[in-house]
Amino acid sequence: MQKSIYTISLCFLAILFLSPIESQHTYAQITIPPGDVSGTWTKANSPYNINGEITIPNDSTLKIEPGVEVVFTGHYKFNVQGRLLAIGTETDTIVFTINDTTGFHNLTIPDGGWHGIRFMDTPSNNDSSKIVYCKLQYGKANAGTSYDNVGGALCAKVNKLLVSHCLFRNNTCYHPDIMLTAGGGIYIEGNPTVEFCEFSENTGAFGGAICIWGSNIHPLIKNNYFHHNGGHGTIDIGSLNGSNTSPVLINNIIANNHSSGHSSDPNGHGIVHFSNGGGKAVLINNTIVNNSSAGLGGGISNGYAAATPLLINNIIYGNTPAQVWLGATSGLDFYNCLVEGGIEGFTGAAFTGAYENCIDTVPQFVSSNDYHLQNTSPCIGGAIDSILVGSIMHYCPPNDFEGNPRPNPSGSMPDIGACENLLALPVPVELISFIASVNGIEVTLSWSTATELNNQGFEVQRKFGSNDFVTIGYVRGHGTTTSPNNYSYVDKLIDPGKYYYRLKQIDYGGTFEFSKEIEVEVRVIDKFALEQNYPNPFNPSTTIGFGIPKKGNVRLSILNILGEEIRILLNEEKEAGYHSINFNASDLPSGVYFYKIQVYSTGSEVGKFIAVNKMLLVR
């Protein structure tokens, strides 16, 4: 069974209400004055109250144990020039926060927030820093000069950094000049890896959640969940001083974010915004849905011709006012993506990039907030496992958003979007039953579907003896639906004999699939007969056949071992001939049962024929 898509979210929701300034504990409290820090911060001494700007010096390491609360008492920076190892666990998270949030939402003052963890040109001779299973909240980058106004919770101007399984919530950045601030949650100007994190309710210009900005940088952003972030776009990718800003974003879910603009620019950017300078981002198997913007874009926004991102296997759907907005004639490339509205739905300048093997349809998620794919989703098997673009080979990730194998099953083509379904191909029509009953010289075919995908309808086909199947009728389908549907067809006035029936399900594209074959025998009846049910023993269904030489009222019932009537299968007038009826005992326990037939002359209560047979239900 796949894990819930919200495993990360629920984990952090459990600690969300345990704010370090509200939780009750008996630990000691340590006050950290301004200056250099190193060594180990233990849970036993938590919380650590930070009373000024602190720095891990070059060639030094600070280790923070699981369960530690780091509480800033003012708008102070946590600088890292050495190595930070803040490694919590899934059940014992490290928390970075402020002791008093009063004034946090007033962006013109520093009150209510701390000034974030700041890696500013950290020397590369230090080993990698790690921030794992941490909660970073109420970071606020809005005071000072230059980089002081970027990265509300984390400023990562560093290469050797892993950020994993963290929650970034309620962080922000601001400057009156929109060009001097970026990254409400994280600002990246280096090559860190950010994975399996959740970003929620962060705000800021040029990336309310993350801003990736610089030259010749290649950070990896994978398996993260971005939701309900605000500000001037959610993820911003660009280069101010050069080209070759080429982050890789894979298996991210980016949903229900809103871009509301900035005081100096009322137009909100798209949720994923490619800025100036030649961003060459690669986005593979992301789900970008149900986002909105007050101005430009909604899903993807590309403001500069020099930005040429590559999008492979992504779902871009339900974003407003548009899925893709182009601020300049642009060469974005789309391969095997689901894009609502297709190229025709792009807004802004002309589109000049590649657009291959993409589809415009409903992705069919499990629900409005569960982005797993239904079994009928057209995204199943619709992705590409590898593709050569230019001189570079790009590959589908080996796992999906939750870490499940991709593709699944092995050997199939992967799915479009962040979540991998267990099927190799979508189920066009999930047929759950197909049965036949005989009424004299008529055969009634009945079938039911659980779900349907692009189902135009069913041809009803019949074969007699050694002849080929021929089409004798057609029943219209229900297109695409996840609701059960029941169908029937009556084959009238046929001669006695043995017949075979099947269904040919046809979709709107002309592809088709045959159902199983079922056998029916139409007989000439010259005497009353009650046949032995078949199969017998049975589980849970069996067929009961009987013949009557003349028209009459037929009552067919089921009796238990005590002879008590527990089910009436039939109580109506029947024409002369052979008849059959299906009995489903799925609600009955194993055991011996009897079926009894009573045939009366029309309009009479005098029995013409009575018979009882035994059958065995085995679970």
Reply yes or no on whether the pLDDT at 33 is more than 50.
yes
Q: Examine the domain organization and report whether 347 and 451 are in the same domain.
A: no
Beta strands in 81-171 (DSSP E): 83-87, 94-98, 117-120, 129-132, 134-137, 140-141, 154-157, 161-164, 167-169
Task: Note the pTM of the prediction, 2 decimals.
Answer: 0.73
In order of 31, 80, 111, 467, the CA distances from 54 in angstroms are 12, 9, 18, 88
Q: Examine the domain organization and report whether 326 and 455 are in the same domain.
A: no
Reply yes or no on whether the pLDDT at 303 is more than 80.
no
Q: Examine the domain organization and report whether 71 and 192 are in the same domain.
A: yes
What pLDDT does 536 receive? 95
Q: What is the pLDDT of residues 225-251, one digit of tens each?
A: 999 999 878 888 876 554 678 899 999
Q: 488, 503, 521: which is the final residue of a domain?
A: 521
Interval 157-181 mean pLDDT: 93
Q: Please say whether the beta carbons of 137 and 169 come within 8 A.
A: yes
Proportion of the chain above pLDDT 70, given as a percent: 91
Rounded Cα distance between 304 and 306, Å, is 5
Domain that holds residue 209: 7-362
Q: Examine the domain organization and report whether 507 and 581 are in the same domain.
A: no
CA dihedral 90, 167, 221, 408 (to 10 degrees): 50
Q: Please say whether the beta carbons of 588 and 570 come within 8 A.
A: no
Q: Please say whether the beta carbons of 94 and 78 come within 8 A.
A: no
Q: Examine the domain organization and report whether 474 and 534 are in the same domain.
A: no
Residue partners of 584: CB distance under 8 A and separation at least 6: 540, 541
Rounded Cα distance between 197 and 186, Å, is 12
Q: Examine the domain organization and report whether 264 and 227 are in the same domain.
A: yes
Interval 180-188 mean pLDDT: 93
Helix (H) or strand (E) holding 64: strand 61-64
402 in any annotated domain: no
Rounded Cα distance between 443 and 179, Å, is 76
Rounded Cα distance between 363 and 317, Å, is 8
HSE, side-chain direction, 13 A CA sphere, residue 601: 3
408 in any annotated domain: no
Residue partners of 440: CB distance under 8 A and separation at least 6: 574, 575, 576, 577, 578, 579
Q: Please say whether the beta carbons of 307 and 326 come within 8 A.
A: no
Residue 349 DSSP class: S
Q: Examine the domain organization and report whether 276 and 144 are in the same domain.
A: yes
Rounded Cα distance between 434 and 449, Å, is 9
Q: Examine the domain organization and report whether 604 and 465 are in the same domain.
A: no
Rounded Cα distance between 269 and 263, Å, is 13
Amino acid at 407: P
Measure the CA angle with vertex 175, ends 169 and 181; round to 5°: 65
Rounded Cα distance between 606 and 281, Å, is 85
Q: If we measure between CA atoms, which residue out of 273, 316, 312, 318 comes closest to residue 296?
A: 273
What pLDDT does 291 receive? 94
In this prediction, residue 372 has a pLDDT band, given cuts at 50, 70 and 90, of very high
What pLDDT does 1 receive? 36
367 in any annotated domain: no
Number of domains, the chain: 3
What pLDDT does 261 receive? 66
What pLDDT does 466 receive? 85
CATH code where residue 612 lies: 2.60.40.2550
378 in any annotated domain: no
137 in any annotated domain: yes
